[in-house]
Amino acid sequence: MADPRADVEVIALLWRILHDLGLPSLTLEINNLGQAADREAYRPLLVEYLKEYDAGLCGNCKHRIMANPLRVLDCKVPECRAITEPAPRLSESLSETARSYFAQVLAGLDLINIPYSLNHRLVRGLDYYNLTTFEVTATNLGAQNAVGAGGRYDGLVETLGGASTPAVGFAVGLERIVMLLPDSQKSLSPQDRSVYVAGFGAQGSVAGVTALEELRLSGISAVSDFRSITLKAHLRQADRLGCRFTLILGDDEVTKGVALLRNMESKSQYDVLLSSLPNQIQPLLLPS
């Protein structure tokens, strides 16, 4: 069963991720799509209105009148937006249940101080979407200004042949996020790339994946390059990335249960137990 608290949690997650990245001029837009029955009741009202003014609509919107009329509301062409501004609104056709659900979502966002803007034009072209839909936009990206978007899609699994399954989620545009990142965020300093994990050999490669996860979970920034298959290649990549340390993990090291941690500046090496990597590496990362 759909729960408005889940919508709030997912929206907050998207907002915090984008906000914490320092992206500028972000706006969270949100709308209530209601249930399929609500949209079926609304569709004839919208179609009737659009047919009356179809001469002024763009070619895409003329086609959408019968194929997918709600998408006309989302058109970015100025003439189409002007025509649809006085059109009947979906909010006027929503059931009391859908209104109550959305009110709880908004109340939840207010409670945790997530700012939002209501946007009645925010629609989806696929019927499995329902109730909450949302987008985070940035004003300096032009017309294609969404950097993350999502909503409830309780009908998706059923549409694919499965059981009715409540669901809510979002997707992000990584390229757009990178475009918006402050310059200071676009490149990592050596301190941010503390440890390079050089896992090679049949056993060492597998152990390297485990080591990466252990270090990251403990708060230690760690990177690797899975294309490198020899120690020489790994060390060259660690140098190129400017890493302070390289954790050397070959088959011999795995057998012994002890890896080598090499200081990339002084070339000194330390034995570190694989059973307690984070605890042994963390003190070495502290400023001297």
Long-range contacts at 269-274 (CB < 8 A, ≥ 24 apart): 272/247, 274/207, 274/211, 274/249
Same CATH fold assignment for domains 4-183 and 195-283: no
Question: Rounded to the nearest 10 degrees, how much is the dihedral formed by the CA atoms of 153, 155, 159, 164?
Answer: 130
Q: What is the pLDDT of residues 1-58, one digit of tens each?
A: 788 889 999 999 999 999 888 888 899 999 999 998 999 999 999 999 999 988 888 9
Model's pTM, two decimal places?
0.66
The C-alpha R_g of the chain, in whole angstroms, comes to: 26
CATH architecture for residues 4-183: 2-Layer Sandwich (3.30)
| Number of alpha carbons in the 13 Å side-chain half-sphere of residue 220 | 27
Instruction: For the chain, give every domain's residue range.
Output: 4-183, 195-283
Long-range contacts at 227-232 (CB < 8 A, ≥ 24 apart): 228/198, 228/200, 229/200, 230/200, 231/198, 231/200
| Start-to-end Cα distance in the chain | 55
Q: What share of the chain is helix, strand, coil (3-state, %, to 5)?
A: 50, 20, 30
Query: Tens of pLDDT along the chain (288 residues)?
Result: 788 889 999 999 999 999 888 888 899 999 999 998 999 999 999 999 999 988 888 988 998 888 888 889 888 889 999 999 999 999 999 999 999 999 999 999 999 889 999 999 888 767 788 999 999 988 766 666 888 999 999 888 888 888 888 899 999 988 888 888 776 555 544 445 589 999 999 999 989 988 988 998 888 889 998 888 899 999 999 999 889 999 999 999 999 999 999 999 999 998 999 999 999 998 888 765
What CA–CA distance (Å, rounded) separates 213 from 288? 26
Strands (DSSP E) contained in 88-173 are 117-118, 130-138, 146-152, 168-172
Distances 212 to 208, 220, 222, 231 between C-alpha atoms, Å: 6, 9, 6, 16
CATH architecture for residues 195-283: 3-Layer(aba) Sandwich (3.40)
